[in-house]
Amino acid sequence: MREISTKKITETVKNLCLEAGVDLPADILDALNDALKTEESPLGREIIRQIIKNAEIAKKEKMPLCQDTGLAVVFIELGQAVRLLDGQLEEAVNEGVSQGYHKGFLRKSVAADPLIRENTGDNTPAVIHTEIVPGDKIRLQLMAKGGGAENRSASRMFKPTSTKDEIEQFILETVEKAGPNACPPLIVGVGLGGNFESSALMAKKALLRPIGRRNSGFDTCKWEKSLLDKINKLGVGPMGVGGTTTALAINIERRPCHISSLPVAVNIECHAHRFKETVI
């Protein structure tokens, strides 16, 4: 057994929050620079230039990229040969989020109750997904998810006899309806199969995949390419003002499902994709 103190987890999560809030990942910046070359709308190009300039200022001055610094979503892959010392895992993660959001002057955007709406004051609790995996390491992935894009996500239980075209239509409709409100250019995560909750979780996990890395399945890879093309023909464009860059990527994940089900979930992410990961 490898012993790891939860204090190490707190420290790591704190640093992931601090970095994610101000440092746009390189794959997003590359995709934006590519989009600048292909975007046909002058207004759209101007918006992409502002997004790139914003990333430069945010990184240099350690200022949050967006005023909505997000709900912390933490994916943990916990090696089964790890023994945790000094306290409980989820408490350690939340403590890291609390410390990171205070230290980084990040906005606290968590309501304690969906109806009473009182702010918890330290951006906790995080949404935490833990998976036990082989090995003696801990992988921590943090996505600070903004509310505007999350609100435009959707899921639907299709019939097992539904066609690929019907599913495609639902994905395209969801992206089009997300429109200007979700802060395009978007990243689109799709979870296909599993059950009600696992399709949504797959859609979220699909957003963690770097831009440009296609699904390893040949059919899915081809579908991702053709769907991205169709999304960018919707005309929504950067911030919805019209243009040929509505999404930077669509990542699809699939898994087995019940013979009577075909769940599909679409998770929408804005261009300000706050994501950092590390391994302890």
Partner 1 sequence: MTKKIEAPLTDSDVEALRAGESVLVSGKLYMARDAAHKKFKDNPPFDIKGQILFYASPTPSKPGAIIGSVGPTTAGRMDAFTPALLDKGLKAMIGKGERSAEVVEAMKKNKAVYLVVPGGVAALLSKYIKQATVIAYPELGPEAVQALEVVDFPTIVAIDSEGNDIFEIGKKNYSR
CA 191 to chain centroid: 13
- Residue closer to partner 1, measured from CB, 50 or 169: 50
Pairing mode of beta strands 186-194, 71-79: unpaired
Residues 103/19, Cβ–Cβ less than 8 Å: no
Q: Which of 36, 84, 208, 234 binds partner 1 (CB under 8 A)?
A: 234
89 binding partner 1? (CB under 8 A) = no
Pairing mode of beta strands 154-158, 262-269: antiparallel
- Give the number of other Cβ atoms within 10 Å of residue 244's Cβ: 18
Site string for partner 1, 99-138 (x = CB under 8 A): ------xxxx----------x-------------------
Binding piece for partner 1, criterion CB under 8 A, among 12-20, 61-69, 161-169, 214-222? 61-69
Binding piece for partner 1, criterion CB under 8 A, among 38-46, 75-83, 196-204, 248-256? 38-46
Q: Is 252 helix (H, G, I), strand (E, B) or coil?
A: strand
- Residue closer to partner 1, measured from CB, 55 or 202: 55
186-194 sheet: strands from edge to edge? 154-158, 262-269, 186-194, 247-257
Give the interface with partner 1 as residue ranges (CB under 8 A): 22, 40-41, 43-44, 46-47, 50-51, 53-54, 57-58, 61, 63-69, 105-108, 119, 146, 148, 151, 179-181, 183, 233-244, 270-272
